[in-house]
Amino acid sequence: MLKEKKEQLIDELASSLSRCTIAVATDYRGLTAKEMMQLRRRLTESGIDYRVIKNTLTRFAAEKAGKKQLEALLTGPVAIAFGYDEVIKPPQVLREHIRSAGSVLQIKGGILGDRLLTAEDVASLAIMPPREILISKLVGQLQAPLQALHNVLSAPMRDLLNVMQARIKQVEGG
């Protein structure tokens, strides 16, 4: 490759690394061309970039983007999935592809912000529920003590009402 072309690739990759919320490194050895196309299509539909780049160029780009932690994952053939929106989307799409296609694709790890993730960390991200569900669970947990307080405070009034209604039925009936 020409030096200018390599510099352009490094700049593009550094830009992707700077913009992404998560980058997941995978080992794609053993994938057929057809399976690689299916994986790329699936990732692109989810808004995830998937790139196979030489490790030396990736090292330069990681250094340029301030994500030197990525160098620990750059052994052997590596393809990187860049997620720009939700943090859990790339691990979930990769996990779903591996499960549904019976793929030999292996997740090596990833970068979340400035933190290096192991393959186990990425796998645990993949099984997390979506953000909306987590928020609704949090709201439910915050609401539970308020609901209990409301029930405790309204119980005497409700009991008084029940006693008065029973007395009215007793007087009318009897």
Instruction: Give me the pLDDT at residue 1, please.
Output: 63
Q: Does domain 3-128 have CATH number 3.30.70.1730?
A: yes
Q: How far apart are the first and last CA of the chain?
A: 102
Cβ–Cβ under 8 Å, residues 10 and 56: no
- Report residues of the chain scoring pLDDT below 50: none
Q: What pTM was computed for the model?
A: 0.72
The secondary element (H helix, E strand) that includes residue 116 is strand 115-118
Instruction: Give me the pLDDT at residue 144, please.
Output: 85
pLDDT tens, residue by residue, 35-75: 999 999 999 998 999 999 898 999 999 998 888 888 888 88
Picking from 98, 111, 126, the residue whose alpha carbon sits closest to that of residue 24 is: 111
Boundaries of every domain in the chain: 3-128, 130-174
